[in-house]
Amino acid sequence: ILLLTFTRKAAREMISRASRHDPECKHVEGGTFHSFAYKLLKRYSKTIGLSSAFVVLDEGDAKEAI
C-alpha cells in the first residue's frame, strides 16, 4: 500500500491509521509526495544519470541560483 499526501502531518496520520490494520506496517509505504519523489530519485539516480549527491532546491533557492 502506498499512501501519499501533501503534508507531513497528514502522512503521519495516514500511516498511523494504516498501522492499526497492519501493526508492523509491513505492506505500508507512506509520506509526502515530495519525500516519495526524493526517495525514488535517490534510489535510481545513477540509472537516470543524476549524481547521487543532488540537492533539491526550494523556490527561493532556485530563484537565487538563476
Count of structural domains, the chain: 1
Over 80: is that where the pLDDT of 26 sits? no
Range of the domain at 6: 2-65
Over 90: is that where the pLDDT of 25 sits? no
Instruction: Evaluate whether 42 touches 51 at the Cβ level (below 8 Å).
Output: no
Mean pLDDT of the chain: 90
The torsion region of residue 30 among left (phi > 0), alpha (psi -120 to 50) and beta comes to beta
Q: What is the pLDDT of residues 31-47, one digit of tens each?
A: 999 999 999 999 999 99
